[in-house]
Each structure stands twice: as structure tokens, then as C-alpha cells.
Structure 1
Amino acid sequence: MAGTQSRSGRGKLQRLFLLLISAARLQSNTAKYVRGSISTSEDWVFLTRFCFLSDYGRLQFHFKYPEEDCCQNILLYFDDVSQWPAVYQKNQMDCYEKESVLRPDNNQVINLTTRYTWSGCEVVEEGQSRYLSCLGGRSFRSVRERWWYIALSKCGGSGLDLEYEMRLTNGRSFWTEQFSADEFGILETDITFLMIFILVFLISCFFAYLLKSRLLLHTTYKMFMASAGMEVLSLMFFCLYWGQYATDGVDNYGVKVLAKLLSSLSFLIFLLMLILLGKGFTVTRGRISHSGSVKLTVYMTLYTITHVILFIYEAEFFDPGQVLYTYESPVGYSLIVLQFVAYVWFCYAVYTTLKHYPEKQTFYIPFFAAYTLW
């Protein structure tokens, strides 16, 4: 999350790239390391969320605020329907009501004051000012993995004004420590698929050399190579991103967005290649009709624009206080519909091609079966 109240632009690149980078901000809410500052008249503020393991979850924090603003609290909600959903979805609840759902026996309130031993607070002087500096931690144990939501409060006060730094971890393994439990396995999966796609790309290069020597290096095969190459680059950047994240828990927005862009481009090229092959391009005919070209252009443009809108929609409308993923939005549903339309188009194209060229069944039947599953 790294400063929900204070985050601003991170560079002045081209407008589109800025928008896409801002779309990745949502992902920082599951970051292991978060820091920032808050200055608001609100008496209750949501900070971040994290899915802790049942036995190994740990929160370490450092909060600092002026002594005259005492006393502020860290509130720890979990995902039971009587807790976070009850508080966050009912905006009419005041600060006291939001605090009342917490269970005292679970130590879900950490008072940031010297009177509360577990907060680790002490008074420090900086020039003519006195601050409360609170350095402490909290372990999380439950019967299952749980989402925990961290908020701040100062009910009945003049608002919140503080600096914060938090580390949220799961165990001590390189593969789990920095990750929220819902992110387990992402790095290992990306590494595995990177190796697979590197092998696929190298094999495709070998066959491209053979095809070129026979003057059979067609456009659709070049599209396949371009798609595979972009997927390799995408997975390389994803592995770089998650590898760095596993080391220090810090989100690198630019690397992640670049990886997602390359993955989207790879997918779009591959989808276009499948429709073209379904229509028989480079298999039964050397060109697509004018009307077919127009339809493909309109469809791919629409699909690309929807992808871009989805990035922006995540940044502007996805609520970091809720567990939401890419396709849980109207734009995500639109993308699913477009993909279903592409599949229907693919089926119709293969059917029409086989109707006119039944001798191509040995190619099209396995081709259709494989990419129907895909």
C-alpha cells in the first residue's frame, strides 16, 4: 500500500505508461513492506491487508506521531463476517462502533501509548517537539489462513497525523516469508513456465530456420514466434519482480506493469493467430477477404482497448479494502465475453474451412481440440 494517503505520481513518462503504472498500485496492498504517512481529519483509516498463515504470521511495526496527538490505536480485524465485512461495508458506522466489533481477548487493539507495554512506545525529542515512537510486533495464529485488515483510529479526536512502517511476513522460507498466503506458488509457477517457454521458443527458432530454408516461413508461424518470445520476456520480468519481492518485500510497479503488458501482447497475438489459422490463412488460402480483415481489425482493437481500460479500472475503482482480482469487475466480465466471442468465431472459422477443405481434417481436428481446451 505504501502510503495510501500520500502516494502521488512516480515519474513523468508518456501518459499511457503512467496510467498503466498507476493500475499496479492496487497490488501494493498485499505487499510485505509498507510505509507512508497519514494526515487526515478522519478518526478511522484503513491501512492495508494481508493473508497470514495459521501459525507463522508476523506483523512488525514502527509508528511515530506528535505526543500532543495521543492516543492513537492500531486495529486488527480478521475476515469473519462479524468483523471486517460488517465494519467496512457499513459506512454509516462511527468510529466507536467500528472498534466495538473487535474482541478484547484476541488483543486486536494496540494502543499506541507508553501506558500500553505491548505497543513498545517511548517519548522521543526532536528539536522542540516531542513524539511517541512505537516499535513493536504481533504474531497471528488461527485455525486456518485468514485475511487480516489493519486500520488506525482515534475516536472522538481531531484526526490522525502519523508516520508508519510495517513488515508483514509468513514464516521464514524464501518462498513464503514476504508473500501473503494467497500469493504462495506464484514465483515457483512463473519460474517453471519460464523454462518451458524458453524451450518452446528455442525449438520454434530451430524449425523457423528449417522453414526459411524451404521458403515456408509463413506469417502465422512468425506470429507464433513473436507470441512465444513476448511470453518469455513477460515471464522473465515476472520472475524478476517476484524474486525481488521475495527478497525484500518491496513492490516494483514498473517491472510488474511491463511484465503484464508483454503478457497481454503475447496473448493478443496468439489469439489473432488462432482465428487466422481457423479461417485457413496460410493453410488453405494466402489472404483474408477485405470484410474479414475489417472484422478482425475491429475485434482486436476492441479487445486491446478493453485490456487497457481494465488496467485503469483496477487503479481507479478496485477497493483495496476488499479482496478483489482482475476479472471481478464489469470490465473483466466484458473481457470474458470478448474471449467467448473469439472462441465462437474460432469454432465457426474451423467449421467453414473444413466444410470447403475436408482433406485438411488431419490438421484441423487436433488443432481444434487442443485450442478448445486452451
Structure 2
Amino acid sequence: SLPHAPLSLLLLAPSPVPHSKQDWLFLTRFCFLTDFGRLDFRFRYQKSRCCQNILLYFDDSSQWPAVYKKPDKDCYQKEAVLRPENNQVINLTTRYTWSGCVVEGEGDEEVLSCVGGRSFRSVRERWWYIALSKCGGEGLQLEYEMKLTNGQSFWTQHFSADEFGILETDITFLVIFSLVFILSCYFAYNLKGRQLLHTTYKMFMTAAGVEVVSLLFHCIYWGLYARDGVGNGSLKIMGEARISHSGSVKLSIYMTVYTVTYIILFIYEAEFFDPGEVLYAYDSPAGYGLMGLQLLAYVWFCYAVLISLKHYPEKQPFYIPFFTAYTLWFFAVPVMALIANFGIPRWAREKIVNGIQLGIHLYAHIVFLAITRPSAANKNFPYHVRTSQIGILLSSPKAGVASESFPHHAYGNSSFLGDSQPNFTELFSIQSRNSEHKIITTTADLSSPTFPPLPPPMPPRLVAHSPPPPPRLSSHFTEYFSMQGGGGVGTKA
């Protein structure tokens, strides 16, 4: 069967149509503007296989939907829906002047070479579907080149009307996401200095970085496509806190199933995507599968949030806005697909859906960036356990359940010192004899305006050679020593 050509078709080398016993075949589709649509073609086939026709259908319900994948209609019936007065049939013979056909070669080697073009004008942007027919013959076989364009502008010439604005939109979002990624790196630098750069934030940075790379590949692809109408398909393809061990296993299983399912749907879309019926990704069974995966991920999201709130109810100031914001994000794609399928004209869906989808991605990144910013004004700042504490707490004999082993602490940035004050907070661990970890925290209180009283005088020595007394602290700051062992007992000096 004939391989389907891309949406905006510009075949620089002749594309052969393998010998097919079918007498009617779909070639490609394109959405033309009202006054600037143009089709330029070149067809070659043996004269002995005469005569073949180019059929031009538009998206009216009496035309393309009435013939495509209608097994009850034969070739003649599919041709009968066309209107001769609209010049929708191009007969590839020398008898039809507008086909531009001439005979080349001699004897059995004679071929018909047809070079011509056709302009498209309509009351609105329309989808046009190009098919090939030879009713009552022994099948189809030819070579062809087609160039379908919309005007002469760099931004529109090789683009189908439903793709207008995609390149400009991708460039705009590439700049915005690059700024988001740079800002996240700056926040990460501050968090690392405070030992608060957790895995969740690193995952967010990775997601933002991948989004930038994806948009970069898309911009390069569409830029090449705008230049020559072909592009590089490979570029487009390239462009599409610590938990417990059991939680890691569950998440790994889910991500494995999610990834495998996504790959299967991606391959299905690549192999079985029918441009005669499907106009954009979510208008197909593969798209419905992707929406199903999105809803399945939402179930996991709800479960994770509820478990976190169960163990840490004081974290509600963070998790309630977080859950609300990302509930909207999870349902945005299915709602967008429903609106696109039933409320957006078919010729405008791809460009509108592309913009909405990038906007949804930007919303997800901006929200997370805002609620995790390391600023004293951010009362919902989510992190309070320092990264140097995690391994110690999880390895404690009483840390049987990872989610319950972390200290409870209200969210917020109240513990952050201002930029004008140095932070002398130090955190380290000591291995005790009974193999239990102890956490020693030394905090210098810089807010006290007065100096501490001098220690009492030392008693006189009774033995001449007794060991010298321990040196006094020379610091002018109050010191607080907290030693948390197996029993969690603290001592003050």
C-alpha cells in the first residue's frame, strides 16, 4: 500500500507508489488558506498503465467523510461525489490540457510525465485531501512529487494552515522555559548552601531542563521545515524527598508500566496514525490512552498527598495549595482534548492545542517554582529537614518507617537568616559505641544584643600536678548543644 506523506508535503525526490491492486488510494492532506493555497505536482507513470487521476476532496461532509474508509462504496462512487465545475479531478493524460502531461520515450518505454499546478480558493480555511484513482483498471503504480504551500512568507509557506504559529509559539515558550530553568538553578544554589536541596527539587530541575531541550529540538525542526518544507523527522521525535524502600519499588513499577505503555502508544501512533482521519495527537486511540495514563497518574498523586498529610498534618499549608494547583494540571489535558474535539474547528486544532499544551506545561513549572522558592516571604516553603540529616534518621534503629522518622516541623522559612547575617549553623553526626547515631547541632545566637555573663571562677587546685582545667569558650555568643541519642535526651551547657 502507499505510504502516507507528511502534512506539509514537499518531496524533493520522486516517491514511487508500489504496485497496488487498489483502484483508489489516499496520498496526503493539507489545510490551505482562503486565497494563497497552491499545489505544484509532477507525476510519471508508464503510458501502458493509462489513465490515472488526481482527486481533490475538501472537508465538507458530502465529500471526504462520505468516501474515506467506506467499504460500501466503489471507486466510481467515490469519484462521483466530486464536482467537475470545481476542477476537483485532474486527469493525467495528454487529452486534459491542464494536467501538463507529455509523452516521453519511445515504444514500450513510453511514459507520461505530467507537470502542473493548481490554486485553491475557498470561503474559509479548508482541509483538502488528495487521492489517486484508476477505476476499472489493473491497479496503480507511478512516481510523484508534490509541493503544497500557503503564500510566500517564511512563517507560512510550507506550513499547513492548522500549523500556523507553532514555530513562533515554540520559540516564545523556549525563552520562557529557559528563564524558568535558570531561575531554578539559582534557587537550587541557595538551597544547597542551606543543605535543603532535596531530590524532589532536583527532579523539578530535571523536568525543566528536559522541557527546554525538547522545545529546542522542536524549534530546530520547525525552523528547518519552514525553510525547505521537509525538516528532520528525527529532531521532532527527540523533541517529543527520599521515600521508603517499598515506596521506591511501587514508584519504579508504576514508572516502568507508564513508560512501557507510553512507548507502545507512541509506536502505535507512528505506525497506525491515519492522517486521513486524525488531525492531531489526542484525536486518536493513542491519544485517548495517553489521557488515561494522565488520570492514572492523578490517582497515584492523590494517594501520595493523603499519605503525607496523614503523617505530617502540620504540612497542610503547603500540600493543600499544592494539591489544588496540580489537580487542575492533571485534568487540563483531558478537558483540553474534549474541548478541541468538540469545540474547535478541525482546521485550527493543531496550532491551538500546541499552544494550550505548552501553556499547561508552563503552569506546572511556574507553580512549583513559586511554592518552593527559598525566600523568607514564602510561608509555605516545603523543606525543613536538611539533606545531611536524612541518612542519619533513616539509619536509626527507631526509624522503621521512613515517613515517620523525620522530625515534625511547621513549614515556612522562618529559620532562614537574612543575607546581612552570617549563618554559623553546623550539622554533623557522631558514631557512638552502641552503633547508634547522635546528632549534634551547634547554633550561634546572633540576635542577642548583650554578652553572656562570665563563668564563675575556678576553685583552687588541690594537687600540684593535676590536669589543667578545660579551656573556656572564647566566643561571645551563647552556645546550644543538643545531643540526641537513642533515648532522645538533650543536655544544655
- Which TM class, normalised by the smaller chain length? 0.7 to 0.9
Contact kept in structure 1, 2:266 and 2:286, CA below 8 Å: no
What is the DSSP-based 3-state SS (H/G/I as helix, E as strand, rest coil) of the residue aligned with 2:6? Answer: helix
In the alignment, what sits opposite 2:249? 294
2:270 maps to a residue whose letter is A
1:240 paired residue among 220, 225, 230:
220
Matches within 5 A, 1:245-264: 245-260=225-240
In the alignment, what sits opposite 1:340? 295
What is the DSSP-based 3-state SS (H/G/I as helix, E as strand, rest coil) of the residue aligned with 2:77? Answer: helix
Shift of 1:137: 0.7
Contact kept in structure 1, 2:278 and 2:284, CA below 8 Å: no
Shift of 1:156: 1.6
In the alignment, what sits opposite 1:265? none
Deviations, residues 243-277 of structure 1 (Å, cap 9, x unaligned)? 111111104221111111xxxxxxxxxxxxxxxxx
Q: Distance in 2 between matches of 1:70 and 1:366?
A: 69
Q: Which runs of 4+ in 1 moved over 6 A?
A: none
Structure with max Cα Rg: 2
CA distance 1:366–1:138, change in 2 (3 Å): same
Matches within 5 A, 1:290-369: 290-369=245-324
Considering only aligned residues, what root-mean-square deviation do their CA atoms show, in Å?
Answer: 2.1
1:372 paired residue among 310, 327, 345:
327
**Which deviates the most, 302-311 or 118-127?**
118-127
Q: Distance in 2 between matches of 1:352 and 1:369?
A: 16
Identity across the alignment (%): 70
1:32 maps to a residue whose letter is L
Deviations, residues 12-37 of structure 1 (Å, cap 9, x unaligned)? xxxxxxxxxxxxxx7x5312314511
Q: Distance in 1 between matches of 2:244 and 2:263?
A: 29
Q: Distance in 2 between matches of 1:200 and 1:173?
A: 32
- Please state if 1:29 is matched with 2:6: yes
Q: Distance in 1 between matches of 2:15 and 2:279?
A: 23
Matches within 5 A, 1:1-374: 5=2, 28-34=5-11, 35-38=14-17, 39-125=19-105, 129-260=109-240, 282=241, 287-374=242-329
TM-score of the pair, normalised by structure 1: 0.81
Q: Distance in 2 between matches of 1:330 and 1:48?
A: 21
Q: Distance in 2 between matches of 1:45 and 1:341?
A: 39
TM-score of the pair, normalised by structure 2: 0.62
Contact kept in structure 1, 2:269 and 2:286, CA below 8 Å: no
**Which deviates the most, 333-342 or 50-59?**
333-342
2:155 maps to a residue whose letter is W
Shift of 1:233: 0.8
Q: Which has the higher contact order (CA 8 A, sep 6+)?
A: 1
1:124 maps to a residue whose letter is E
The structure with the greater share of residues assigned to helix is 1
Q: Distance in 2 between matches of 1:353 and 1:213?
A: 26
Q: Distance in 1 between matches of 2:256 and 2:83?
A: 52
1:60 maps to a residue whose letter is D
Shift of 1:365: 3.0
**Which deviates the most, 100-109 or 342-351?**
342-351
In the alignment, what sits opposite 2:342? none
2:156 maps to a residue whose letter is T
What is the DSSP-based 3-state SS (H/G/I as helix, E as strand, rest coil) of the residue aligned with 1:162? Answer: strand
What is the DSSP-based 3-state SS (H/G/I as helix, E as strand, rest coil) of the residue aligned with 2:110? Answer: strand
Deviations, residues 55-88 of structure 1 (Å, cap 9, x unaligned)? 2211110111122222211110111121111111
Shift of 1:105: 0.8
What is the DSSP-based 3-state SS (H/G/I as helix, E as strand, rest coil) of the residue aligned with 1:33? Answer: coil
Contact kept in structure 2, 1:76 and 1:108, CA below 8 Å: yes
Shift of 1:113: 1.4
1:314 maps to a residue whose letter is E
Q: Distance in 2 between matches of 1:204 and 1:127?
A: 72
Contact kept in structure 2, 1:32 and 1:179, CA below 8 Å: no
2:16 maps to a residue whose letter is S
Deviations, residues 82-108 of structure 1 (Å, cap 9, x unaligned)? 111111131232221111111111100
Q: Distance in 1 between matches of 2:68 and 2:296?
A: 37
In the alignment, what sits opposite 2:403? none
| Gap regions ≥5 residues in structure 2 | 330-493
CA distance 1:68–1:127, change in 2 (3 Å): closer
Deviations, residues 126-158 of structure 1 (Å, cap 9, x unaligned)? 797222211111111112211111111122222
What is the DSSP-based 3-state SS (H/G/I as helix, E as strand, rest coil) of the residue aligned with 1:75? Answer: strand
CA distance 1:127–1:200, change in 2 (3 Å): farther
What is the DSSP-based 3-state SS (H/G/I as helix, E as strand, rest coil) of the residue aligned with 1:235? Answer: helix
Q: Distance in 2 between matches of 1:327 and 1:309?
A: 15
| Gap regions ≥5 residues in structure 1 | 8-25, 261-281
What is the DSSP-based 3-state SS (H/G/I as helix, E as strand, rest coil) of the residue aligned with 1:29? Answer: coil
Q: Distance in 1 between matches of 2:235 and 2:64?
A: 32
Q: Distance in 1 between matches of 2:225 and 2:32?
A: 17
